[in-house]
Amino acid sequence: MAAPARFPRVALVGRYGSPALAAPLAELADFLTARGHSVVIDEGTPLPAVDSAPAADLARHADLAVVVGGDGTMLALARRVAPFDVPLIGINQGRLGFLTDIPLAHMTATLTAMLEGRYLEQRRTLLAVAIEHTDGKREEALALNDAVVNRGSLGTMIDCAVAIDGRFAYALRADGVIVATPTGSTAYALSAGGPILAPQLKSFLLVPVAPHALTHRPIAISDECSIAIRVTQGLDAGVHCDGQDHYTLAPGDCVTVRRAAFHARFLYPEGHDYFAALREKLHWSATPERITPPGAAS
């Protein structure tokens, strides 16, 4: 069979260390091969008779990446493939599944329609994070959800100075401060009391974490702004990107966050409704007595 015009090369990525994914990944590989796609899999999740590639090189071998797992797996892959403009489809084998939203039981039927062109595309903003240390060392990272400057294992609060576009905004004594994208507004920022931003908004959130003053509140700003967070005091501070990439901070170190030069591309089934997803994931419109506790019999 000739390779289809859309997405001739498809990369598969599964959640690491999950033996339960072997069967659905094999099913997906067979399904895609039968349709005429060439399939490559991340070498961390090998399948017999399927070509593999290192995670760092996967985007060079793919026109589309399909993730089977949870949002954490998707976050890690999105940061790798975004610079190569490779779109992503997520099949949920995790918990909430804001990014990996296609049910495992419906994956082949849903993918059939999407591979025939019946899908919606959303481009999500990423954060470009630069860490300037007082010793002159510089580190860089990407984040799709958030960059979080916070206290470490010693448990003491940290002091920070926050500047926006080079202008001092406020000083903060707290457990930390979150810089979140609209995608990350339903993650840690939400738990810290931040608002939900619709994905198409061109905004960043600045959300304090357990501030030592009642006057500190979350704020939304334009994603064209540059945000600088300098640690002024704190023995064990750090910055964490998507909760996966971690960097140690010392007093005087500065974290600068800007909008990245590229976007993450997500493909969703035709008819995808962001607000319906929020109702389902966050139990909107459900009274407490109608919410079944985790582990309870339905």
The one-letter amino acid at 175: D
pLDDT tens-place string over residues 174-184: 999 999 999 99
Residue 71 among the catalytic residues:
yes
**Across-strand partners of 237?**
249
Record the pTM. 0.90
| Class of domain 126-261 as given by CATH | mainly beta
H or E, element range at 115: helix 107-115
Q: One of 42, 63, 71, 146 is an active-site residue; which one?
A: 71
Phi, psi of 84 (to 5 degrees): -100, 5
Give the three-class secondary structure for 179: strand
| Of residues 39, 37, 81, 79, the one with CA closest to residue 60 | 81
Give the three-class secondary structure for 191: helix
| Range list of β-strands (E), the chain | 9-14, 38-42, 51-53, 64-69, 88-92, 102-103, 119-132, 138-143, 146-150, 158-164, 167-174, 176-180, 203-209, 219-222, 227-233, 237-241, 245-249, 254-269
pLDDT tens-place string over residues 54-107: 878 889 989 999 999 889 999 999 999 999 999 999 998 867 778 888 998 899
Domain ranges of the chain: 9-117, 126-261
Reply yes or no on whether the pLDDT at 3 is more than 50.
Answer: no
pLDDT tens-place string over residues 205-217: 999 999 999 889 9
pLDDT of residue 70: 87
| Class of domain 9-117 as given by CATH | alpha beta
Of the pLDDT bands very low, low, confident and very high (cuts 50, 70, 90), residue 17 is low
CA dihedral angle for residue 145, residue 139, residue 254, residue 177, rounded to 10 degrees: 20
Confirm if 88 and 77 have CB atoms less than 8 A apart. Answer: yes
Specify the pairing of strand 167-174 against strand 138-143.
unpaired
Q: Is 78 left (phi over 0), alpha (psi -120 to 50) or beta?
A: alpha
pLDDT tens-place string over residues 20-65: 788 889 999 999 999 999 999 988 776 766 888 887 888 998 999 9
Enter the DSSP assignment of 45. S
Enter the DSSP assignment of 75. H
Give the three-class secondary structure for 32: helix
Q: For residue 75, what are its two tokens?
A: 């976050």
